[in-house]
Amino acid sequence: MESFLGVQASLTGRRWVGPGAEVERATELLVQRSGLPQAVCQVLARRGVGPDEAEGFLTPSLRDLLPDPRSLKDMEKAASRFLDAVDRGQQIAIFADYDVDGGCSAALLQIWLRERGMAATLYVPDRIDEGYGPNEAAMQDLARQHDLIVCVDCGTLSHGPIEAARAADVIVLDHHLGGETLPDALAVVNPNRQDEDGACSHLCAAAVVFLVLVEVGRQMRAAGRAGPDLMALLDLVALATVADVAPLTGVNRAFVRQGLRVMARRERAGLAALADVARMDTAPTAYHLGYILGPRINAGGRIGQADLGARLLATDNAHEAAALAERLDQLNTDRREVEATVRAAALAQAETRGFDAPLVWAAGAGWHPGVVGIVAARLKEAANRPAIVIGLEDGVGKGSGRSVSGIDLGASIQRLVSEGLLIKGGGHKMAAGLTVAEDKIEAAMARLGELLAKQGAHLAGPSDLAVTGLLMPGAATIELTGQIEEAGPFGSAAPAPRFVFADMQIRFAKRVGETHLKLSFTDGLGTQMDAIAFGAYDSALGPALESHGGARFHLAGRLDINTYRGRQSVQLRLEDAAQA
């Protein structure tokens, strides 16, 4: 494949790859038929949006895109049992996973119940002491005191624990890959059950819970009753969708687009408090959900008290929200320190094995199980390969993995469980967890690499940087940036567009903090533009641009709106550069 602008090795060592001829033809057709700016058409063409679909794509409607809840198996049974428990005033327990998706799923149910004048018991397992998902002791104890247990973002593979809870009815609302058999629960609503058609397989658990509440509302209306406003809950669905790296396609786009509007109203006490401690001073975007709010909510489950995130999301008390947000913010700071130590060791180990294999992995004694998933994500980004990071203790490894687009990691992990190489494991396409005996790690990782290679995990070039097209500083207006955002939100399966400003002159460059670089550049035609390059000094990018010596550069990055003292301007979030 021919490199973009002839860049075979940029300042970060990557080859730049532009759109293919088919995307370029589709772009030109969109420009002619839609009248939209070329940069917007480039984004749409890359997403496979044709001229007749452009208007609908830019204004996605939840009404048009929301799947019929009843298309999912066990949906009517789950919704009617939940509603029956509410009507009869029965004791309800919510067993939730400790991540953002689990916390949002639990909060959705808690808030809905609160508006009906009811409360539910929240149980979130400790990551270290109990591990992922329902366990027999906890489920048995909950069943003694409750009539209904709702497992959210977990439970699909929990045959034993659900059997132990037979004194209560159990409903599973999940999205993780199902096994050949389902646990003996009253209902298992999961678009990734093996007997589902896969049409809703891209939904996170919170989206599944939302669909259940839609069905509950439908049943209430059929009985002549009104339910709570579900649209006001979309901020939680959006947060979970982005934080769980669900693909931002189809109805997920609508969930996130409309959820961000709800979040901007700051009516959710917990999210407003968390935004304040994180010093968010602009309207929320998908970036904020994935990189600002999500990590803080996750921090409780990673290295602190497991239920802090869910409690923050569900509370309607501003004072409690402020206290929980402060606690989570501090835990997130602590988590960064723990993560940095593990990341350095894992990267060194993985680099020794090589980044060109279908799987990159690392394992180490004492690595905190709460950060192995984040470190796996860093390995994945560094190598553009699926990655696994495992923490070892007492002869057992607990690991987490992250995948790249197009490679189903969860299915391969389940295959290893069936082959006896893992003690347990599961997940979904983009993320998975596993438990493995220390003496089987080498064999398990070798076999996992074989399975991932069959999916083509070894084919992606680790040095490729995909770019959308060329742009001039004078064209990078606030209006254009807003139009490009309308083609989002961007994230998993919908990467943010990356534009190249070619043959630019550096006017100003200054190191900021330890690793960042601020600069301004011009095309020589009178237009100047600012840029920020985060982590620029982790590679040759920062030093080369700071000491540019008058050389001209091609600059690649993403457009961003910068707000300073109430004034807005477009800046480039610089990711790479090459000498012109």
- The model's confidence at residue 132, banded by pLDDT at 50, 70 and 90, is confident
| Rounded average pLDDT over 114-131 | 93
**Beta strand 499-512 with 516-522: parallel, antiparallel or unpaired?**
antiparallel
Would the pLDDT of 288 be above 90? Answer: yes
114 falls in which pLDDT band (50, 70, 90)?
very high
Selected from 2.40.37.10, 2.40.50.460, 3.10.20.30, 3.30.1360.170, the CATH number assigned to the domain covering 467-579 reads 2.40.50.460
Instruction: Say which residue the tokens 């567009």 belong to.
Output: 497
Q: What band does 2 get if pLDDT is binned at 50, 70 and 90?
A: confident
Domain ranges for the chain: 65-329, 354-454, 467-579
Answer whether residue 575 shows pLDDT above 80. Answer: yes
The whole-number average pLDDT for the span 427-452 is 95
Residue bearing the bigger pLDDT, 405 or 196: 196
Statement: residue 309 has pLDDT above 90: yes
Position of tokens 């600002």?
Answer: 292
| 499-521 pLDDT per residue, tens | 999 999 999 999 999 899 999 99
The predicted pLDDT at position 223 comes to 95
| Best CA proximity match to 216, nearest among 79, 316, 313, 87 | 79
**pLDDT over threshold 80, residue 1:** no
pLDDT at 129: 87
pLDDT attached to residue 49:
95
Which pLDDT score is estimated for 329?
A: 97
* Confidence check: pLDDT of 115 > 90: yes
Three-class DSSP category at 57? helix
| Residue 414 main-chain phi, psi, to 5 deg | -65, -35
Helical spans, DSSP H, in 265-407:
269-277, 286-287, 294-303, 308-314, 318-353, 372-383
Peptide bond between residue 495 and the one before it cis (omega within 30 degrees of 0): no
Query: Which of 193-202 are b and which e, b meaning 16 or more Cβ less than 10 Å from the residue's Cβ?
Result: beebeeebbb
- Give exposure, 311-347, as e/b (b: 16+ Cβ within 10 Å): bbbbbeeeebbbebbebbbebbeebeebbeebbebbb
Q: Residues 371, 400: contact at Cβ < 8 Å?
A: no
- Residue 290 above 70 pLDDT? yes
Whether 565 has a pLDDT exceeding 80, the answer reads: no
- Mean pLDDT, residues 482-507 taken together: 94
* Confidence (pLDDT) at 458: 85
- Least Cα distance to 238 among 481, 62, 78 occurs for 62
Higher pLDDT, 295 or 460: 295
- What's the CA gap between 569 and 529, in Å, rounded? 9
- Name the residue type at position 241: T
**Single-letter amino acid code for the residue at 446:** A
Inter-residue contact 235 to 286 (CB < 8 Å): no
Show the CA angle centred on residue 228, arms to residues 224 and 231, nearest 5°. Answer: 120
Q: pLDDT tens digits, residue range 169-187?
A: 999 999 999 999 999 999 9
How much is the pLDDT for 563? 81
Mean pLDDT of the chain: 95
| Domain 65-329 fold | inorganic pyrophosphatase (n-terminal core) (3.90.1640)
State residue 501's pLDDT score: 98
| Sequence-ordered list of residues with C-beta below 8 angstroms from that of 545, at least 6 positions apart, any chain | 11, 506, 509, 517, 519, 533, 536, 553, 577
Across the range 11-35, mean pLDDT stands at: 95
Is residue 128 very low, low, confident or very high in pLDDT (cuts 50, 70, 90)? confident
The yes-or-no verdict on residue 282 having pLDDT over 90 is: no
Cβ 234 vs Cβ 228: under 8 Å: no
Q: Are 427 and 410 in contact (CB under 8 A)?
A: yes
pLDDT at 455 over 80: yes
Mean pLDDT, range 522-551, rounded to an integer:
94
Mean pLDDT in residue range 22-41: 96
Confidence of residue 462 (pLDDT cuts 50, 70, 90): low
Sequence-distant (6+) residues with CB within 8 A of 306 are 98, 124, 125, 126, 127, 300
- What's the pLDDT at 461? 64
Q: What is the pLDDT of residue 578?
A: 97
Question: Distance (Å, rounded) from C-alpha 103 to C-alpha 101?
Answer: 5
Residue pair 134/151 in contact by the 8 Å Cβ criterion: yes
pLDDT category, 493, cuts 50, 70, 90? confident
* Whether the predicted pLDDT of 463 surpasses 80: no
CATH no. of 354-454: 3.10.310.30
CB burial of residue 64 (10 Å; 0-12, 13-18, 19+): exposed
